[in-house]
């Protein structure tokens, strides 16, 4: 089964110009990763510190990155959809790692 987020990431990265591919890929990765963490928030019974999320974005997302919001939204929505179809064991593993990631970035205590 191909993951929805994998398809979306491939489509988004393929649509960006090759001349700036390295920085575009780095930007895409930040939006993809944060979207996965944020898209898991409700399903994993987490509540993120909004100031920590804002600090993360301020530190890692360039102010002129117009693609970040839409990519983030697509990735978060794809993750929300994927989590609904996960087996209990897969969801347990997914949420365990999401919780660890969120804690490591200070999104949760």
This prediction's pTM: 0.78
Total domains, the chain? 1
pLDDT score of 23:
80
Residue 109 lies in a domain: no
Confidence (pLDDT) at 56: 97
**pLDDT tens-digit readout, 75-92:** 999 999 999 999 999 999
Give me the domain span that covers residue 81: 4-12+20-104
Backbone dihedral region for residue 106 (phi beyond 0: left; psi -120 to 50: alpha; all else: beta): left
- Using CB atoms within 10 Å of the CB of residue 57, give its burial: 0 to 12 exposed, 13 to 18 middle, 19+ buried: middle
Q: How many CB atoms lie within 10 A of CB 29?
A: 14
Let me know how long the chain is.
109
Residues of the chain predicted below pLDDT 50: 15-22
Residue 71 placed within a domain? yes
The whole-number pLDDT of residue 2 equals 56
């Amino acid at each position: 089964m191909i993951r929805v987020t994998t398809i979306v990431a491939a489509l988004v990265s393929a649509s960006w110009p090759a001349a700036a591919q390295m920085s575009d890929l780095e930007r895409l990765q930040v939006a993809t990763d944060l979207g996965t963490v944020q898209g898991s928030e409700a399903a994993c019974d987490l509540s993120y510190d909004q100031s920590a999320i804002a600090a993360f974005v301020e530190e890692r997302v360039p102010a002129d990155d117009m693609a970040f919001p839409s990519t983030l939204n697509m990735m978060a929505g794809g993750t929300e959809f994927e989590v609904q179809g996960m087996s209990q064991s897969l969801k347990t593993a997914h949420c365990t790692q999401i919780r660890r990631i969120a804690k490591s970035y200070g999104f949760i205590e």
